[in-house]
Amino acid sequence: MRNIQCADITKTVKEMCIEASHFLTEDVAYALHKSVETEKSPLGKQVLCQLEENLQIAGDDMIPICQDTGMAVIFAEIGQDIHIEGGLLEDAINQGVREGYTEGFLRKSVVKCPIDRVNTKDNTPAVIHYDIVAGDKLKLTLAPKGFGSENMSRVFMLKPADGVEGIKDAIVTAVKDAGPNACPPMVVGVGIGGTFEKCAILAKKALTRDLGKRSDIPYIKDMEEEVLERINKLGIGPGGLGGSTTAFAVNINTYPTHIAGMPVAVNICCHVNRHSVREL
């Protein structure tokens, strides 16, 4: 049994909030950089260059990449051989978010109740997904989620008879309907299978996968590549101003499901596909 202190978790989450708001991971920054070369529309190219310049300024001057610094989503993979000391894990994570958003001067975008809309003023609570895994480590993945793109995400409760073509059409439909509202170029996270809520979590987690890494399952890999090609032929383009770069990647995760169903969730992220990963 390994002990991990709540204070260390809080400090780590705080640092991750600040890091993710100012720096994109290498794979996302590379996808943006590469798209400048491949984009066919001159206006689209210009938008991509501005996004690259914005990213550079964010890192150099420590100004958030986007004014919407998102709602903090955290995937916590908890090794079953660890013991958390000094309080509750959830409180430690939320304290890290509170300190990160306050000390990092990041926009506080969370309201306490979706009906009365009163801001919590410290961007808490985070949305936390817990997984118990083997080992004696605590792996935290923070993915602050902007809501321009979150609002354009969808769940489709397809029938098995809709088949693979039905799944592909659903993903393309979600992206087409999102259009410029999701601040393209987008990253498209897809969850197929499970239940209503499980497919949405699969889709959210898919957004944290390295953009250069395709699914290990050959027919899912093919689907990711085919759907990305279809999406990039929609012509939405960077900033929604037209072009051949509507999405950087389609990342699909799957899970077993019921014989009578085929849930498909499409979680769309903008080009500011932020995440930070740390292991304690």
Mark the segment that binds ligand SF4 (CB under 6 A) among 44-52, 85-93, 144-152, 156-164.
144-152
Out of 146, 189, 237, 238, the residue judged to bind ligand SF4 by CB under 6 A: 146
**Cis amide leading into 185 (omega within 30):** yes
Site map (CB under 6 A) of ligand SF4, residues 92-131, x = contact: ----------------------------------------
Site map (CB under 6 A) of ligand SF4, residues 166-185, x = contact: -----------------x--
Find the DSSP H helices in 77-208: 89-103, 147-150, 163-178, 196-206
Q: How far is the CB of 24 from ligand SF4 (least distance, A)?
A: 12
Distance from C-alpha of 228 to C-alpha of 157, rounded to nearest angstrom: 21
The three-point CA angle 94-207-106 to 5° equals 40
Environment class of residue 246 by beta-carbon count within 10 Å: exposed (0-12), middle (13-18) or buried (19+)? Answer: buried
Query: Nearer to ligand SF4 by C-beta: 5 or 54?
Result: 54
Q: Which two tokens stand for residue 28?
A: 């996302």
Q: Which two tokens stand for residue 108?
A: 């506080």
Distance from C-alpha of 97 to C-alpha of 140, rounded to nearest angstrom: 13
Out of 12, 35, 95, 149, the residue judged to bind ligand SF4 by CB under 6 A: 149
Backbone angles phi and psi of 259, in degrees to 5: -60, -25
Query: Nearer to ligand SF4 by C-beta: 79 or 185?
Result: 185
CA distances from 49 to 150, 188, 233 (A): 24, 21, 21
Number of H helices, E strands in the chain: 8, 10
Query: Nearer to ligand SF4 by C-beta: 66 or 247?
Result: 66
Q: Which two tokens stand for residue 23?
A: 């720096």
Instruction: Give how many residues touch ligand SF4 by CB under 6 A.
Output: 9
Query: Where do we find the tokens 């890091």?
Result: 19
Out of 86, 125, 135, 148, the residue judged to bind ligand SF4 by CB under 6 A: 148
- The verdict on 16 binding ligand SF4 (CB under 6 A) reads no
Give residues 53-82 in contact with ligand SF4 (rule: CB under 6 A): 66, 68, 70
Q: How far is the CB of 35 from ligand SF4 (least distance, A)?
A: 15
Q: How far is the CB of 146 from ligand SF4 (least distance, A)?
A: 2
Q: How far is the CB of 149 from ligand SF4 (least distance, A)?
A: 4
> Coil, helix or strand for 252?
strand
What residue ranges bind ligand SF4 (CB under 6 A)?
66, 68, 70, 146, 148-149, 183, 270, 272
